Amino acid sequence: MIKILFPTDFSEAANHAFIYALQFANAIGAEINTFHVIPEPNVKGAHLPNTMKEIADSIKAEEFEEYKKYIPQLREIAEVNGFSNVVLKHNMVFGDPRIRIRKEASEIGADMIVMGTKGAGWLKEIFIGSVAGEILENAPCPTLAIPAKANFDGKIDKIAVTTNYEAKEVKAIENLMRFANYFKAEVFCVHVDTSHTEGLSHKMENFKNLISPQENLHFIAIDGLRMESSLIQFVEENDIDILAMMTHKRNFFEEIFSYSKTKQMSYHSKIPILSVKAD
């Protein structure tokens, strides 16, 4: 069984992302493992009175009760949206969400993580040390971050993926194509050439020859001055539903999503970002 890990904090943004998770699970025949992480109460001091430990135990009990109340809400969301057939499993733990989510993904053998993000400034939060940013860059499987403002019509028609046209990216592209074919979506391999590289067309042709040709796979080289503005324009003009980012180079992420460029990338708060490891 294909497994989707769905971390949730019970928020509206998380419930919004849950619709995406249900849609994907239904399309690819996957089960959804919901996962809630509560920060461990800091009561490990050597001289803490027993009453403090009792308070910590009480907090854990309350959180567990809240989680049990939340599970029926998820089932109701699935039923209302016509996905009562999707298998749902649930788990809650205490600890650091950045660590426990990655650990859970590894332990259950998750094929994909789907999680929501909050607010208009979600890109800033994601790529400047947030939980979602940590998961996007370091998760053991592809991770899809769904902004609260994303409008989902139940269809994934177009996916854009950034690429440097390097041989080590071939497997990632092929995996992405398998995902896209479930939705009969077009995939655009996009390279933004800010250095105006000579011979780029030749490099692109060599890369294309490494991948089995498919009618819904396209290769685009954009000659632009700035990476982020060129991507924004391409996404907007082509009605892209998901922007997939290769995570083989951390500095590539930083080049696009650094703090000073967050406002310029604000358009992306309307579409999901999918992190894909090149290797």
pLDDT tens for each residue of 77-127: 999 999 999 999 999 888 888 899 999 999 999 999 998 876 444 344 443
Q: Minimal CA–CA distance to 2: which of 44, 43, 22, 32?
A: 32
Query: How many angstroms separate the CA atoms of 122 and 130, rounded?
Result: 10
pLDDT of residue 42: 61
Query: How many angstroms separate the CA atoms of 136 and 99, rounded?
Result: 12
Homologous superfamily of domain range 158-276: HUPs (3.40.50.620)
Q: Are 255 and 227 in contact (CB under 8 A)?
A: yes
SS3 sequence, 35-70? Answer: EEEECCCCCCCCCCCHHHHHHHHHHHHHHHHHHHHH
- Each of the 279 residues of the chain gets a pLDDT tens digit; together they read 799 999 998 888 888 899 999 999 998 899 999 999 887 666 555 555 566 667 667 777 777 788 888 899 999 999 999 999 999 999 988 888 889 999 999 999 999 999 887 644 434 444 334 677 678 778 889 988 888 777 777 788 999 998 888 898 999 999 999 999 989 999 999 988 877 777 788 888 999 999 988 999 999 988 877 777 788 888 889 999 998 888 755 544 454 444 333 333 433 457 888 888 876
pLDDT of residue 215: 93
Which residues, 6 or more positions from 84, have their beta carbon under 8 angstroms from its beta carbon?
A: 75, 78
Give the pair of three-digit tokens for residue 153.
Answer: 């019509």
> What CATH fold (topology level) applies to the domain 2-147?
Rossmann fold (3.40.50)
Domain with CATH 3.40.50.620 in the chain: 2-147, 158-276
Query: How many angstroms separate the CA atoms of 226 and 231, rounded?
Result: 9
**pTM of the predicted protein model:** 0.81
Phi first, then psi: give them for residue 251, nearest 5 degrees.
-70, -20
